[in-house]
């Protein structure tokens, strides 16, 4: 049996197309599986249950802080009590009461502001080339003006002055 070169090329092309389709299907399955696991930001139920049962307010607050730091939820401009409570698998009432028991916070808004300002201070120290507006947006503030006002009220100096002070302290 004599096979022409055109037939051989045609067979090779068909085999390559089949391989591409099979690889495409596998890549799609993998990407769907990965995107499904990324959507799940909530801690495991067993972890939540262990924290809620018999923990002191201080231990609960440490756990909340750890979870907020892991997920960086506070950096989302749309973060609110409801979103945080859902992510932590706590009721809104439980989370609000927990924060109210902490004298340094009192409300979720105060807690959120504190977490954002802590993150901003880290960025200002570690990334001195970032613009102030970029820092503000990266840590969840919707406007530069709000960020600067809150920063100055809490820290006593402007974000720019804080960054300059951090540079000076690192040099010496």
65 lies in the same domain as 3 = no
56 lies in the same domain as 36 = no
Domain that holds residue 143: 45-171
84 lies in the same domain as 161 = yes
Please state the rounded mean pLDDT for residues 143-167: 93
62 lies in the same domain as 130 = yes
77 lies in the same domain as 138 = yes
Burial class (CB in 10 A: 0-12, 13-18, 19+), 22: exposed
Whether the model clears a pTM of 0.75, i.e. scores above it, the answer is no
53 lies in the same domain as 103 = yes
90 lies in the same domain as 128 = yes
Q: 169: pLDDT confidence band, cut at 50, 70 and 90?
A: confident
Nearest to 135 by CA among 160, 170, 166, 111: 160
33 lies in the same domain as 52 = no
Judge contact between 87 and 71, C-beta under 8 A.
yes
Span of 34-48, 66-80, 140-154 with lowest mean pLDDT: 34-48
67 lies in the same domain as 145 = yes
Q: What is the Cα–Cα distance from 11 to 13, expressed in whole angstroms?
A: 5
Please state the rounded mean pLDDT for residues 107-136: 93
Total domains present in the chain: 2
23 lies in the same domain as 71 = no
pLDDT for 10-58, tens place per residue? Answer: 889 888 888 888 888 877 777 777 765 444 444 444 344 435 556 788 8
CATH number at residue 115: 1.10.10.60
Cα–Cα–Cα angle for 73, 64, 145, nearest 5°? 40
32 lies in the same domain as 52 = no
């Amino acid at each position: 049996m004599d096979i022409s070169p055109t037939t051989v090329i045609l067979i090779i092309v068909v085999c390559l197309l089949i391989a591409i389709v099979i690889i495409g299907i596998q890549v799609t399955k993998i990407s769907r599986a990965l995107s499904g696991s990324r959507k799940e930001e909530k801690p495991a139920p067993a972890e939540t249950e262990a924290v809620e049962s018999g923990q002191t307010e201080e231990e609960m607050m440490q756990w909340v802080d750890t979870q907020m730091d892991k997920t960086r939820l506070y950096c989302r401009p749309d973060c609110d009590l409801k979103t945080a409570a859902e992510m932590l698998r706590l009721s809104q009432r439980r989370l609000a009461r927990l924060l109210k028991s902490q004298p340094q916070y009192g409300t979720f808004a105060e807690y959120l502001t504190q977490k954002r300002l802590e993150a901003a201070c880290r960025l200002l120290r570690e990334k001195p080339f970032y613009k102030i507006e970029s820092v503000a947006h990266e840590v969840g503030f919707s406007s530069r003006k709000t960020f600067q006002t809150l920063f100055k009220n809490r820290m006593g100096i402007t974000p720019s002055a804080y960054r300059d002070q951090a540079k000076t302290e690192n040099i010496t």
